[in-house]
């Protein structure tokens, strides 16, 4: 006889809250409002009786800590954060799953350590971090002398919020710094460096002669192959593209070693590794998530293994068997098309007029915020200065991206200063003229002397000119490390990761969260859904082919196209029949 207890639902939780009144009247009203909103969210879309009350699933779905994305159904990060916090409070109270806090014995060594630090003049705000570390250690009955580096590393890795992660690191350094004034014995491992364990694949160095073969192949790709009766070099690629292909080679080797298919540091040549069974095992383990790093997206994995195949072929070996192995995996069938998640994002963006308006308003909105922040730059704190510079960078990027949706790598390589620079600033009549040379674009589709016109959402010439004169000098002087500065570039050496982070934060605050690459999809999708859309124009703006734009960049509202088709057919039939009747 099955005696499994039925799963609790959100409806059960609502009934419990209304019956037991676990919160103050004012807070309970807010909690119930947030909980009842769950059935209206597109993620659920079912009655509360059908939504499981599961705190772990809720955390996995909606996350914890800083808000990085604005889910559908929320207009601001603050509204989402408040909703998430209130629902989580309800779930925690419903199941009594609040984290147990180890009781602090006044005479235990952690309490003495905290007292010593307080006596030494450590600010109370910094002692909060030590309390977090002390409570974590108490739960495992660890005294300060028993804390090891491995335990600290595990505590950092299992920290479920960025704040907890930072607190443990800060407390370790603080205890080490004040170790001479403490009356209790402490572990020598306090102060040792601990970082969140990397979740991406750390590539191993290629052994010889594989390394030499790979470098030779890389040089050939940059130089191109001699083709035709004139033996002219063709099919050359940029050094950056060749380096990207090398990442595929190093990934496959690292995966083979990690899967125990090869012994590390042994001499290996490409001929020994061209076995299709080895590649099949790598692909299978990656798709099944059996490696210790975060699983790769199918598109990324396909690119890596395809580059491995090209390397094998370019080294003079038959790669037909590798082609067959790759084609055997169903995950790679539509890998060259737009992914389902990206298509869903484009569809949601197309159907949300508020997000479209917020997107096109970004240049002016960020420009005004940045100007206000820069006015207080000289007297502001370091945090305020960093914020002002970040807003200036975001405003400049928005001014260019909403007129010419370049890839982020191309944008960061734009040169500035001098008659031959890629970015030329003129007066209001000529505006901002921009060129993307073939050596800084991904596939050679460059732009030549494109004038970015002023638009209702912002004037690129005005915003970029202000950035160049007000923000850029300060950016180069104090906000980029000396060895990373590139004074000949518009953004002065800002890194890919930094601009991506700035853009994500800026767009999230504006209510239209997106990555830099999603800018290209957003503009392409909007233009493709206009009456009489011309894909040649869209492809020219993106710097790509029409075929690629149709396949990889746009979502077209088919329902609206069908409706337009019905109207067109009705009009055609009417015209034909009228002429026939005459």
Find, among 343, 338, 346, 376, the residue nearest to 549 by Cα: 338
Q: Residue 332 corresponds to which tokens in the numbers above?
A: 């790679």
- Cα 11 from chain centroid? 35
Q: Residue 378 corresponds to which tokens in the numbers above?
A: 């000289």
- Cα 308 from chain centroid? 26
377 touches 429 (CB < 8 A):
no
Q: Residue 466 corresponds to which tokens in the numbers above?
A: 């202000």
Structure confidence at residue 511 as a pLDDT band (50, 70, 90): confident
Q: Residue 254 corresponds to which tokens in the numbers above?
A: 């690292």
Inter-residue long-range contacts of 86-89, CB under 8 Å, 24+ positions, other chains counted: 86/30, 86/31, 86/33, 86/34, 86/35, 87/31, 87/34, 87/35, 87/38, 87/58, 88/55, 88/58, 88/59, 89/23, 89/31
Mean pLDDT for 79-94 is 90
Q: Residue 580 corresponds to which tokens in the numbers above?
A: 């026939």
Residue 344 included in any domain: no
Model pLDDT, residue 251: 92
Other Cβ atoms closer than 10 A to 300? 15
Residue 480 included in any domain: yes
- Computed over every residue of the chain, the mean pLDDT equals 86
Residue 415 is classified by DSSP as: B
Please tell me whether residues 303 and 373 are part of one structural domain. no
What is the C-alpha to C-alpha distance for residues 97 and 53, in angstroms, rounded to an integer?
12
Please tell me whether residues 152 and 293 are part of one structural domain. no
Please tell me whether residues 242 and 363 are part of one structural domain. no
Residue 114 included in any domain: yes
Model confidence at 88: pLDDT above 60: yes
Digit-coded pLDDT (tens) for 425-480: 887 777 889 988 888 887 767 888 889 998 999 999 999 999 999 999 999 999 99
Which of 52-66, 316-330, 377-391 is modeled with the greatest confidence? 377-391
What is the C-alpha to C-alpha distance for residues 276 and 329, in angstroms, rounded to an integer?
13
Between CA 137 and CA 147, with CA 141 as vertex, the angle to 5 degrees is 50
Residue 187 included in any domain: no
502-521 CB burial, b ≥16 within 10 A, e <16: bbbbbbbbbbbbbebebbbb
Please tell me whether residues 320 and 371 are part of one structural domain. no
Structure confidence at residue 486 as a pLDDT band (50, 70, 90): very high
What is the C-alpha to C-alpha distance for residues 368 and 36, in angstroms, rounded to an integer?
38
Give the contacts of 280 (CB within 8 A, at least 6 positions apart).
Answer: 325, 328
Give the contacts of 185 (CB within 8 A, at least 6 positions apart).
Answer: 109, 144, 145
Structure confidence at residue 231 as a pLDDT band (50, 70, 90): low
More confident residue, 563 or 394: 394
Model confidence at 407: pLDDT above 80: yes
Mean pLDDT for 378-396 is 94
Torsions phi, psi for 425 (to 5 deg): -100, 125
Model pLDDT, residue 490: 95
Model pLDDT, residue 101: 47
Digit-coded pLDDT (tens) for 287-345: 888 887 888 888 889 999 999 999 988 888 888 888 888 888 888 877 777 777 788 88
Please tell me whether residues 542 and 398 are part of one structural domain. yes
Q: Which domain holds residue 271?
A: 210-223+236-332
Give the contacts of 147 (CB within 8 A, at least 6 positions apart).
Answer: 137, 186, 187, 189, 190
Model pLDDT, residue 475: 95
Please tell me whether residues 395 and 543 are part of one structural domain. yes
Range in 149-163, 229-243, 318-332 with the lowest mean pLDDT: 229-243
Other Cβ atoms closer than 10 A to 567? 10
Find, among 175, 170, 206, 205, the residue nearest to 190 by Cα: 175
Between CA 146 and CA 154, with CA 152 as vertex, the angle to 5 degrees is 120
Residue 541 included in any domain: yes
Rounded percentage of the chain residues whose pLDDT exceeds 70: 94
pTM (2 decimals)?
0.68
Digit-coded pLDDT (tens) for 92-109: 888 875 444 445 454 588
What is the torsion angle, in degrees rounded to the nearest 10, for the CA atoms of residue 275, residue 280, residue 285 and residue 286? 100
Between CA 265 and CA 276, with CA 271 as vertex, the angle to 5 degrees is 100
Phi-psi region of 418 (alpha: psi -120 to 50; beta: other; left: phi over 0): left
According to DSSP, the residues that pair with 447 across neighbouring strands are 436
More confident residue, 11 or 234: 11
* Last residue of one domain, picked from the residues 95, 119, 149: 95
CA 132, 136, 137, 141 dihedral sign is positive
Structure confidence at residue 3 as a pLDDT band (50, 70, 90): very low
Please tell me whether residues 67 and 22 are part of one structural domain. yes
Model pLDDT, residue 235: 66
172 touches 133 (CB < 8 A):
yes
Rounded percentage of the chain residues whose pLDDT exceeds 90: 36
What does the chain come to in residues? 582
Which of 309-318, 333-342, 395-404, 551-560 is modeled with the greatest confidence? 395-404
366 touches 398 (CB < 8 A):
yes
Q: Please state whether beta strands 232-234 and 225-227 pair in parallel, antiparallel, or not at all (unpaired).
A: antiparallel
| H or E segment and range at residue 118 | helix 109-119
515 touches 503 (CB < 8 A):
yes
245 touches 307 (CB < 8 A):
yes
Please tell me whether residues 325 and 406 are part of one structural domain. no
168 touches 131 (CB < 8 A):
no
Please tell me whether residues 544 and 492 are part of one structural domain. yes
Please tell me whether residues 405 and 496 are part of one structural domain. yes
Model pLDDT, residue 51: 92
- DSSP-derived secondary structure for 98-113: PPPPPP--TTSHHHHH
Residue 295 included in any domain: yes
Please tell me whether residues 298 and 372 are part of one structural domain. no
Please tell me whether residues 409 and 536 are part of one structural domain. yes
Distance, first Cα to last Cα, the chain: 81
Model confidence at 188: pLDDT above 50: yes
* Last residue of one domain, picked from the residues 62, 95, 128: 95
CATH code for position 537: 1.10.443
Model pLDDT, residue 1: 42
Residue 39 is classified by DSSP as: G
Mean pLDDT for 537-558 is 85
Phi-psi region of 438 (alpha: psi -120 to 50; beta: other; left: phi over 0): alpha
Residue 71 included in any domain: yes
Residue 578 included in any domain: no
Model confidence at 79: pLDDT above 50: yes
What is the C-alpha to C-alpha distance for residues 297 and 335, in angstroms, rounded to an integer?
10
Domain tally, the chain? 4
């Amino acid at each position: 006889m099955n005696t499994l207890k039925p799963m609790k639902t959100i409806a059960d939780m609502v009934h419990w809250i209304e019956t037991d009144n676990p919160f103050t009247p004012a807070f309970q009203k807010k909690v119930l409002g947030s909980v009842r909103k769950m059935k209206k969210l597109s993620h659920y879309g079912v009655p509360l009786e059908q939504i499981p009350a599961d705190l772990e699933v809720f955390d996995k779905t909606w996350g914890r800590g800083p808000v990085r994305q604005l889910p559908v159904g929320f207009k601001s990060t603050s509204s989402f954060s408040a909703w998430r916090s209130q629902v989580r409070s309800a779930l925690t109270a419903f199941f009594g799953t609040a984290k147990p806090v180890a009781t602090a014995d006044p005479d235990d060594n952690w309490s003495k350590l905290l007292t010593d630090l307080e006596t030494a003049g450590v600010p109370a705000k910094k002692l909060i971090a030590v309390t977090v570390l002390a409570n974590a250690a108490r739960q495992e009955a660890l005294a300060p002398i028993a804390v090891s580096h491995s335990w600290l590393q595990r505590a950092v890795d299992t920290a479920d919020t960025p704040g907890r992660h930072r607190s443990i690191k800060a407390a370790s350094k603080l205890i080490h710094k004040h170790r001479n004034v403490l009356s209790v014995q402490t572990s020598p491992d306090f102060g040792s460096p601990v970082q969140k364990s990397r979740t991406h694949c750390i590539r191993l160095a290629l052994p010889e002669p594989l390394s030499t073969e790979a470098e030779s192949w890389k040089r050939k790709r940059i130089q191109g192959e001699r083709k035709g009766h004139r033996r002219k070099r063709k099919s050359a690629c940029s050094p950056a593209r060749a380096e990207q292909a090398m990442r595929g080679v190093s990934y496959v080797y690292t995966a083979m070693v990690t899967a125990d298919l090869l012994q590390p540091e042994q001499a290996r040549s490409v001929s020994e590794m061209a076995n299709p069974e080895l590649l099949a095992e790598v692909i299978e383990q990656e798709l099944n998530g059996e490696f210790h790093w975060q699983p790769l997206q199918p598109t990324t994995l396909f690119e890596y293994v395809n580059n491995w195949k090209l390397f094998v072929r370019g080294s003079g070996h038959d790669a037909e068997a590798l082609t067959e192995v790759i084609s055997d995996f169903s995950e790679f069938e539509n890998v060259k098309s737009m992914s389902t998640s990206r298509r869903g994002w484009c569809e949601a963006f197309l159907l949300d007029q508020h997000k479209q308006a917020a997107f096109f308003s970004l240049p002016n909105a960020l420009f005004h915020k940045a100007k206000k922040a820069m006015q207080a730059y000289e007297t502001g704190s370091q945090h305020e200065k960093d914020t002002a510079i970040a807003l200036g960078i975001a405003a400049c990027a928005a001014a260019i991206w909403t007129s010419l949706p370049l890839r982020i790598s191309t944008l960061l390589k734009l040169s500035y200063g001098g008659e031959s620079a890629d970015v030329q600033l003129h007066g209001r009549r000529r505006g901002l003229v921009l060129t993307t040379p073939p050596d800084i674009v991904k596939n050679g589709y460059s732009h030549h002397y494109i004038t970015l016109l002023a638009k209702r959402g912002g004037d690129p010439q005005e915003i970029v000119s202000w950035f160049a004169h007000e923000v850029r000098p300060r950016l180069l002087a104090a906000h980029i490390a000396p060895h990373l500065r590139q004074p000949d570039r518009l953004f002065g050496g800002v890194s890919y990761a930094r601009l991506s982070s700035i853009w994500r934060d800026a767009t999230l605050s504006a209510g239209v969260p997106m990555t830099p690459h999603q800018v290209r999809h957003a503009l392409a999708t909007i233009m493709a859904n206009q009456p009489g859309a011309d894909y040649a124009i869209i492809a020219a703006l993106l710097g790509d082919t029409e075929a690629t734009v149709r396949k990889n960049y746009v979502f077209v509202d088919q329902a609206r196209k069908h409706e337009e088709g019905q109207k067109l057919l009705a009009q055609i039939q009417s015209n034909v029949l009228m002429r026939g009747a005459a």
